[in-house]
Structure 1
């Protein structure tokens, strides 16, 4: 038989119509779609002439490759045909399309949210023009063999950098810490957060000036306001040249207004900047190189290398301190701005990371959640493969090559992914407000950013290729002879009992990821609760802290205390230098009997009035507490248990401790350890000092019966009497302590959210597979019911496979989760244990969710009347 001469497509169609008889001509004249294939399968003529038919199409192959019925004449028409077929398949199988599109939409929405969050973290501080050349000056000190890293430095360090290494820096800027100060103009008096900084600060921070110039700080009595602070004080009035009062003492003139700094910077919330010279007169005359109280920022000059400059200034402080201070081996270094936010943790002098760990963690979670959605698409596409098998067989028989079929299935995948992305965008918009509240962010979709759309396009293509890769390669690999045999559709197509292994493996992967996320979420919240339940060693309930903003409070403290106690809502009043929940002041240079001469010590210190210990209810283990009736207690120390162990004292009460040039103090008592810093860290050695003059907070303990709202009103009345100028501000100690868990709680909440979505996506896929399995086994179920099988037996029969897969996933997830969570917990000195029941609860939860997911479809199939399911037989 001679090969047929290539003819135009219409002639080829007519030949096919003639060969299959005229009663099919009308359908062949149109597009060859699935309905046509099903019609072919139903005709006895098709079955009888199958072998000869295939031989005829073999002779048509040279023609078909060039002018196939299924391959339009131009590439654009070809892809248009692919998308048309894909679109029709979507609407023909609405349930499966909903699962595919919905699952991918949720997965893409999660990936978008995590992408926005991660980008916000990565781009932190990039607002500044010289971001890559700005650094914070930090220092290391060695205490008893352990290196401690501080971000505070002596005030003398800035001038020394300018004098000795001036050519290496464009700017050297000394700064106070960002704190609340009272600003006043006319009758308006508000507390705003701001800094005292040197004149180079506006250029260093690339301030965008609304009015005035960046040189405004050259005037020693000037102030620069942020736009929001200027609006609060002056409204629409021009603020330039206006007089203001700072902290009720300093008169300053507004010389500039700058745009508010973004939330994604370390200087967010800086409402004003005023000259450093205004701060200097209030500093003690004795402050020197040994007092690290301030910050110093630098901008490295071009073309100097930041690491090289950091190495050059290493010994700057050591060269300016005395021999005693040099024993602590001070080393100065530059910490680049690009690492401030993500790499802010130091351990033993080494930068060990920080938020970067969570960025990578959520990035991995985002990839896995999207992968789960892609697995749904793969599983449902391959599980329902016999519905496309006839189409593939005929396309191959008349000349379609495998690459064309792969292109078609990838086109359908991209169409579904594109629809999912279009659905994901409004989902993200809908949940962003709540997500921002949980994550403490100000994220939004950058609609006008070209890079966003370019990345989105790449995201769509990558997801489409990932989701469609397995179905495209699997479906395009069918052998047309085996597919078109007619009687052996299922047996020849699925390749035996091992054909379902890939789908089962993907289901196991889905639930392995989901169960791991569930276990991780449980451990995170357990660690948070473990730290919250840690005994504080004191009672912070009803403890209010009021900052002292005027010397009038110090001068009339006793009268203030008496009036507060007379209100009837106050149990006790005491002053401290810092909050008991955030003791950050450390001191060294202590000497005691038996101390190793080579030991370099460091203690946390807390200065207070004698009533403080009684007020918070600490426990005195040895000796006695401070007493206002014993004047010599101003030369006495109280130690915590950690300090006694650190000093190696067997009988600490009565021991003499010399504190450098401050004199000799006597230990009068030992108190139980207090948690005054991180709730996750071990207790540090601590010394309590009776020093009423060096205090900055008034601590008020409310009575148990007091109603907070009414009590605060009474407190405000008394404080306003002695400080009528400043606004009454306060903090509850327990609320301040609760903020220490904020970061972990946000991470835990986000992790639980993503774990829930991962389970949802996995269950969507499981629901689709259960529906498909029930559909395929409809006749089997009918026969079993006729033979007497009960609904419960059929439910068990159809659910067993899925339960087995989830059990395998739990067995894989348990050691994986244990390994990674054990490593994560090692970062906390005070940490919970990995109890077995957490893994059991997670596994049991996954099994219950699986049974609930598949039960609807299995019970529905089991309840079908066998008469209906066996009607065609």
Structure 2
């Protein structure tokens, strides 16, 4: 019986070639889209799932309140908190801390027997318990003891290969840093950084018991300030995280009351974030250790996949029900000879399932061929092996069954309900509601298409807005060059003089933070006569004189730094004046105080500059002050040239002749700013690609449907033409119903798109306003596509010889 079902299904699919090709192409494209998106989504959901007892590991995050309002929400906390929690609560099985050191200062690394030094990012300092809490696959060394000794280091396999090649790295020495602050570190382990995905993505890990920052973290005692440490705890198996969270206020009260008062903080709250939620559910928290994504982004992609697959299923339903009359006599004969309704339903469902399974088999090699493009677009490292994960295989089987069932159930019900008497007599066999359903499904397809076009336009507008918005400084033709060492920093003036003699260099200055870098340094200030416990946090950046000229930041009041200025003279932005309710007119006669008692420091404002975006446009411009810096981390070069290769070669040659053993590490500021919006850029590309697919699949369905309609009306068209109807009137007859459906879809899609895109834009502090013409363009685009698809087929029928369609009468 099953063999006969498959044989009949196969014959019917071959018999109706056009319908089969349209359905197969639509289902294949839908399945390719779904499978591609699912691969990416599962990769994103897999972050930190590999750790032993991952659901028991939590990051301790901080919310600081001043004046009763939360004004600092960070993924970090104070140094002593993690191990104090372990000390105070039996529920805490283990604790560990991580400091991302290269946020604070640039470090060089080299093998002790080599002069070749490198800037290597993502340098962690971590407690000896780090590899007990988190799972990393070790290639060399013992992970449980690798960080127990002072000045121990664990390398990624990438860095080990770069420093030592194929040699065994255990107990070899590397030099970390430069000058008097350089440390000799002993390699105690090598791990595979590609093994699993994690929000913790170290290039190398230095023991927290090492001198310098490690010693500072281990000896720091305040529970209120210096919230720069990423603290993690692992709860015991039987612990309840919600109940444990309820103990945090009491812990802060016992441990931090005096520290909070000394720091001028009204309150501090600790929140636990499950480690498996960090990558996708911690947007909005500052000071992330690595880039995080958004679960909303994945929901959007999954919705996109669902709607594309649904559009393909709708094509199947429309074409199958529309062409039911083609199989009327077959169904009538089978019913007469004893076929029941259930048997017929199984037959028609079998056909749709067969087509769905075939679409899946075709889509798998297509997805494999597309993986390089997908990886380039998503910055993932997906391989064909990912297709054979049990999750993907299960979803793929489920997708095939769902698609086949969803596409075939309604046609199966309709076709199996045909009465044999009417079928054999050639009477009307379709239920009256089927036409209404087809129209509703077509409207749904148009709603999806119009909504996706509007989404693409709005995302593209926001991305262009972030690129073109005046950031308050001139990012174009600006090069940031990492200084990196005390030697290079001490030679700033000689480097500056040498660089200015190179053709193409217009101006040079320096600073501690490059544009787009996270500024973690800050100070708590209050006004003279104010409450020292009520401080306002102001971001801090050290710069050289000429910085504002080089960056193109205009002065509103006062002046730039001079050689004679000292560190207690500062320049502030407009946001700082607003934070302290200081007018521009009074700014130059104002001072800000820091500290209390004998340790009070007075900072005098000598200049006010316009607000500029030193962070992402997602964040509001924060108060910032700039002070004179004599040992900066970056050089900034304003350039003007048509030959950057020649300019960079000249800069590198001069750099190497002035500074020894320090890499020439540069970046174009405008490119670095663009990286802040990589996710929006990817979202835009993905949206465009899948919108084109959805529209193409919809057009396939429209083509098939209008082909059927024109075939059904070919005799009517022939009679109209014989009676004198024009080609234009025939085309209008065939297209007007579809135009009405587009207009209905436009009225439905516009408010829905507006609502969801308004919600998405709320994630940006600085954003575009959604304009009415976006939806008009989207609807117009859908109308044009419809007229082209339907009109071309209608035109073919309208210009056909009426004799051919009437000769059988």
Residue in structure 2 matched with residue 345 of structure 1 by the alignment: 283
Residue in structure 2 matched with residue 476 of structure 1 by the alignment: 416
Residue 320 (structure 1) shift: 5.9
Residue in structure 1 matched with residue 555 of structure 2 by the alignment: 620
Residue 821 (structure 1) shift: 1.6
Q: Is the 8 A contact 1:406 1:473 kept in 2?
A: yes
| Aligned pair partner of 1:237 in 143, 148, 167 | 167
Range moving further from structure 2, 163-172 or 600-609: 163-172
Q: Is the 8 A contact 2:85 2:92 kept in 1?
A: no
Residue 494 (structure 1) shift: 3.2
Residue 267 (structure 1) shift: 2.5
Q: Deviations over 1:818-854 (max 9, x none)?
A: 1222222223221211111111111111011111112
Alpha-carbon separation, structure 2, partners of 1:471 and 1:748:
36
Q: Is the 8 A contact 1:197 1:275 kept in 2?
A: yes
Decide whether aligned partners of structure 1 residues 251 and 765 sit closer, same or farther in structure 2, where only a CA change above 3 A counts.
Answer: same
Give the SS at the match of 1:84: helix
Give the SS at the match of 2:146: helix
Residue 473 (structure 1) shift: 0.7
Decide whether aligned partners of structure 1 residues 366 and 522 sit closer, same or farther in structure 2, where only a CA change above 3 A counts.
Answer: same
Residue 810 (structure 1) shift: 1.1
| Aligned pair partner of 1:672 in 594, 604, 610 | 610
Within-5 A mapping of 1:446-461: 446-461=386-401
Q: Is the 8 A contact 2:60 2:271 kept in 1?
A: yes
Q: Is the 8 A contact 1:177 1:294 kept in 2?
A: no
Decide whether aligned partners of structure 1 residues 580 and 450 sit closer, same or farther in structure 2, where only a CA change above 3 A counts.
Answer: closer
Residue in structure 1 matched with residue 633 of structure 2 by the alignment: 696
Within-5 A mapping of 1:730-809: 730-809=666-745
Residue in structure 2 matched with residue 396 of structure 1 by the alignment: 335
Question: Is the radius of gyration larger for structure 1 or structure 2?
Answer: 1
Residue 322 (structure 1) shift: 5.2
Does residue 86 of structure 1 match 2:9?
A: yes
Does residue 205 of structure 1 match 2:134?
A: yes
Decide whether aligned partners of structure 1 residues 252 and 642 sit closer, same or farther in structure 2, where only a CA change above 3 A counts.
Answer: closer
| Aligned pair partner of 2:567 in 624, 634, 638 | 634
Decide whether aligned partners of structure 1 residues 166 and 474 sit closer, same or farther in structure 2, where only a CA change above 3 A counts.
Answer: same
Unaligned runs of 5+ in 1: 1-77
Residue 568 (structure 1) shift: 3.7
Within-5 A mapping of 1:554-593: 554-593=489-528
Give the SS at the match of 2:676: helix
Give the SS at the match of 1:813: helix
Give the SS at the match of 1:589: strand
Q: Is the 8 A contact 1:100 1:377 kept in 2?
A: yes
Alpha-carbon separation, structure 2, partners of 1:398 and 1:282:
86
Within-5 A mapping of 1:462-501: 462-486=402-426, 489=427, 492-495=428-431, 499-501=434-436
Within-5 A mapping of 1:429-444: 429-444=368-383
Residue 162 (structure 1) shift: 4.5
| Aligned pair partner of 2:77 in 153, 156, 162 | 153
Alpha-carbon separation, structure 1, partners of 2:124 and 2:213:
16
Q: Deviations over 1:311-367 (max 9, x none)?
A: 434444624615232534122232210110111124899xxx961111112111211
Give the SS at the match of 2:338: coil
Range moving further from structure 2, 323-332 or 106-115: 323-332
Q: Is the 8 A contact 2:556 2:608 kept in 1?
A: yes
Q: Is the 8 A contact 1:525 1:748 kept in 2?
A: yes
The TM-score with structure 1 as length reference comes to 0.85
Residue 414 (structure 1) shift: 0.5
Alpha-carbon separation, structure 2, partners of 1:454 and 1:751:
26
Does residue 427 of structure 1 match 2:366?
A: yes
Does residue 247 of structure 1 match 2:177?
A: yes
Residue in structure 2 matched with residue 56 of structure 1 by the alignment: none
Within-5 A mapping of 1:69-84: 78-84=1-7
Does residue 184 of structure 1 match 2:123?
A: no
| Aligned pair partner of 2:21 in 98, 102, 112 | 98
| Aligned pair partner of 1:272 in 194, 204, 210 | 204
Decide whether aligned partners of structure 1 residues 95 and 825 sit closer, same or farther in structure 2, where only a CA change above 3 A counts.
Answer: same
The TM-score with structure 2 as length reference comes to 0.92
Residue 263 (structure 1) shift: 6.5
Give the SS at the match of 2:267: coil
Give the SS at the match of 2:749: helix
Q: Deviations over 1:508-563 (max 9, x none)?
A: 01111111111111111111222322211111222222223211123222222222
Alpha-carbon separation, structure 2, partners of 1:590 and 1:527:
35
Q: Is the 8 A contact 1:680 1:829 kept in 2?
A: yes
Within-5 A mapping of 1:528-543: 528-543=463-478
Q: Is the 8 A contact 2:349 2:412 kept in 1?
A: yes
Residue 178 (structure 1) shift: 6.0
Decide whether aligned partners of structure 1 residues 157 and 715 sit closer, same or farther in structure 2, where only a CA change above 3 A counts.
Answer: farther
Alpha-carbon separation, structure 1, partners of 2:285 and 2:502:
48
Decide whether aligned partners of structure 1 residues 108 and 436 sit closer, same or farther in structure 2, where only a CA change above 3 A counts.
Answer: same
Range moving further from structure 2, 103-112 or 555-564: 555-564
Alpha-carbon separation, structure 2, partners of 1:603 and 1:751:
39
Residue in structure 2 matched with residue 844 of structure 1 by the alignment: 780
| Aligned pair partner of 1:168 in 92, 98, 118 | 92
Give the SS at the match of 2:587: coil
Give the SS at the match of 2:315: helix
Alpha-carbon separation, structure 2, partners of 1:532 and 1:201:
40
Residue 296 (structure 1) shift: 2.2
Give the SS at the match of 1:607: strand
Does residue 818 of structure 1 match 2:760?
A: no
Alpha-carbon separation, structure 1, partners of 2:707 and 2:221:
77
Give the SS at the match of 1:682: coil
Alpha-carbon separation, structure 1, partners of 2:547 and 2:96:
41
Q: Is the 8 A contact 2:74 2:285 kept in 1?
A: no
Residue 433 (structure 1) shift: 1.5
Unaligned runs of 5+ in 2: none
| Aligned pair partner of 2:444 in 509, 515, 532 | 509
Does residue 217 of structure 1 match 2:147?
A: yes
Q: Is the 8 A contact 2:478 2:638 kept in 1?
A: yes
Let me know the Cα RMSD of the aligned residues: 2.5
Q: Is the 8 A contact 1:109 1:428 kept in 2?
A: yes
Q: Deviations over 1:610-630 (max 9, x none)?
A: 2211211211111222222x3
Q: Is the 8 A contact 2:458 2:757 kept in 1?
A: yes
Residue in structure 1 matched with residue 622 of structure 2 by the alignment: 684
Decide whether aligned partners of structure 1 residues 621 and 189 sit closer, same or farther in structure 2, where only a CA change above 3 A counts.
Answer: closer
Give the SS at the match of 2:256: coil
Q: Deviations over 1:173-231 (max 9, x none)?
A: 34334667433223454333332212112222212122221112223233222222222
Q: Deviations over 1:113-151 (max 9, x none)?
A: 111111112111212223212222221101344312112
Q: Is the 8 A contact 2:174 2:186 kept in 1?
A: yes
Residue 771 (structure 1) shift: 0.8
Alpha-carbon separation, structure 2, partners of 1:174 and 1:440:
25
Alpha-carbon separation, structure 2, partners of 1:172 and 1:441:
29
Alpha-carbon separation, structure 1, partners of 2:260 and 2:796:
85
Q: Is the 8 A contact 1:328 1:600 kept in 2?
A: no
Decide whether aligned partners of structure 1 residues 662 and 156 sit closer, same or farther in structure 2, where only a CA change above 3 A counts.
Answer: farther
Range moving further from structure 2, 91-100 or 128-137: 128-137
Residue in structure 1 matched with residue 346 of structure 2 by the alignment: 407
